[in-house]
Amino acid sequence: MSEVKAYGAKKESADLESMKIERRDFTKDDVEIDILYCGVCHSDIHQVQNDWGGSEYPVVPGHEIIGKVTAVGNNVSDFKEGDLVGVGCMVDSCQTCDSCKNDLEQFCENGATMTYNGEDKHLGGHTFGGYSEKVVVNKEFVLRVPKNIDTAAAAPLLCAGITTWSPLKTWGVKEGDKVGVIGLGGLGHMGVKFAHALKAETVMITTSESKTDDAKKLGADSVLISKDEDAMKEHKGTFDFLLNTIPVSHDVNPYLELLKVDATMVLVGAIEPLEDVHGGNLIRGRKRLAGSLIGGIKETQEMLDFCGENNVTCDIEMIDIQDINTAFERVKDSDVKYRFVIDMKSLKES
């Protein structure tokens, strides 16, 4: 076991502060990784604030990890020292249940081990995430990062990337479909890039008129301001697919009205009770309201490879770990362009 530097919250909604955590010695199936960059996901904030219940403290967040391999166990043949790798929201799962066998580890019937705030099956207690110097991960949960894309800007692909890619692929979004991405934050900006890359007619649906130009630069063909009731009416019944990244409970009815007959809106943001859904908004038009959770490891690798082939990365603001509390406040204020990434040098040299 070794002690490494980390940043975490010692109690509910506390500021993050410098601390030491334990990392296990690598087993025969493990990859040991020196963390170079870690993205800041809104989920990190939800967990620190215990928004979903069940947070265990200290919470050391971080599940958009890019790093260099420093050591591998005897059973590891796919990775070697010096490789550039990524780790997302999961670090282990049973590998034997139907979900795991179907490359849906996120739905492991025995419970996937989440990168932080999961049950640590090696050391006991709970897992600690990427706001730290190093991490030890089961080989099945280590991803190859394309060499041609910017390393720091690749970090958010490990959560924001796969969480938006997976529903677009699962619901078969294709060229010419009219796709709306709701909420221009970390997830939303990748949703727009991917929908555009898949040649969909991409509409950014936002509460922030000020983000219009950025949305178009990211690949949106047009922008719909959700607070503008007349504009919402004009788009009624026209969307083939909606990807909803709003991070809190909200009224989904105005968005359901935007869907065509048989079309689907997928929720990824509001992991909590929703305000009343009007049954008529589903029944009239045979519409569907669905959800999606990150993506499996195979699909995450496919997404990373697609990003390498099509030169897709995230738009990031790089920060030092010491600025993390300000960054959290800015994410809460929807004021980030469009993902913070922590340069982990700032932790190592502190």
Which residues lie near Zn ion (CB under 5 A)? 41, 43, 159
Q: Which residues pair with 267 in a beta bridge?
A: 244, 291
Single out the segment in contact with ligand NAP by CB under 6 A; choices: 110-118, 120-128, 131-139, 331-339. Answer: 331-339
**Residue 248 binds to ligand NAP (criterion: CB under 6 A):** yes
CB atoms within 10 A of CB 99: 18
Work out whether 188 is an interface residue with ligand NAP (CB under 6 A).
yes
| 163 sits near ligand NAP (criterion: CB under 6 A) | yes
Instruction: State in angstroms the smallest separation of the CB of 76 from ligand NAP.
Output: 27
CB of 177 to ligand NAP, least distance (A): 21
* Alpha carbon separation from 74 to 26, 80, 280, 302 (Å, rounded): 10, 11, 58, 26
Answer yes or no whether residue 42 interacts with ligand NAP by CB under 6 A: yes
Q: Which two tokens stand for residue 95?
A: 């590998």
Beta carbon of residue 63, minimum distance to Zn ion (angstroms, whole number) = 5
For the chain, what is the largest distance between any 2 Cα atoms, rounded to a whole number of angstroms? 63
Closest distance of CB 116 from ligand NAP, Å? 13
Total of residues contacting ligand NAP (CB under 6 A): 29
The reply on whether position 39 binds ligand NAP by CB under 6 A is: no
Rule CB under 6 A: is residue 184 a binding residue for ligand NAP?
yes
**If residue 113 lies in a helix (H) or strand (E), which one and from where to where?**
strand 113-114
Among 195, 268, 314, 319, binds ligand NAP (CB under 6 A): 268
Options 88, 130, 161, 186; binder of ligand NAP; rule CB under 6 A: 186
CA torsion through residues 317, 322, 325, 329, sign: negative
Query: Which stretches of 28-116 are DSSP H helices?
Result: 42-49, 98-101
Q: Which of 193, 185, 226, 220 is nearest to 204 (CA)?
A: 220
Q: How far is the CB of 72 from ligand NAP (least distance, A)?
A: 28
| Kind plus residue range of the DSSP H or E element containing 270 | none
**Shortest-Cβ-distance residue relative to ligand NAP:** 185
Q: Is 244 in the site for ligand NAP (CB under 6 A)?
A: no
- Which of 36, 76 has the CB closer to Zn ion? 36
- Binding piece for ligand NAP, criterion CB under 6 A, among 73-81, 245-253, 277-285, 303-311: 245-253
CB 221 within 8 A of CB 192: no
Q: Which does 185 bind (CB under 5 to 8 A by kind): Zn ion, ligand NAP, none?
A: ligand NAP
Q: How far is the CB of 121 from ligand NAP (least distance, A)?
A: 22
d(C-alpha 121, C-alpha 50), whole Å? 22
CA neighbor of 43 nearest in space, from 192, 158, 203: 158
What is 142-185 written as a DSSP string?
Answer: -EEPPTTS-HHHHGGGGTHHHHHHHHHHHTT--TT-EEEEE--S
- Least separation in angstroms between CB 144 and ligand NAP: 21
Question: What Cα–Cα distance (Å) separates residue 150 from each residue in 66, 153, 188, 288?
Answer: 11, 5, 20, 37
Q: 140 and 297 in contact (C-beta within 8 Å)?
A: yes
CB of 235 to ligand NAP, least distance (A): 16
Residue 198 CA to residue 165 CA, distance in Å, equals 10
- Per partner kind, with CB cut-offs from 5 to 8 A, the member of Zn ion, ligand NAP, none near residue 42 is ligand NAP
Q: Which of 269, 299, 312, 316 binds ligand NAP (CB under 6 A)?
A: 269
Q: Is 185 in the site for ligand NAP (CB under 6 A)?
A: yes
Q: How far is the CB of 92 from Zn ion (least distance, A)?
A: 17
Distance CA 326, CA 343 (A): 15
Tell me which H or E stretch contains 152: helix 151-154
Which positions touch ligand NAP (CB under 6 A)?
A: 41-43, 46, 159, 163, 183-188, 206-208, 211, 245-248, 250, 268-269, 292-294, 331, 334, 336
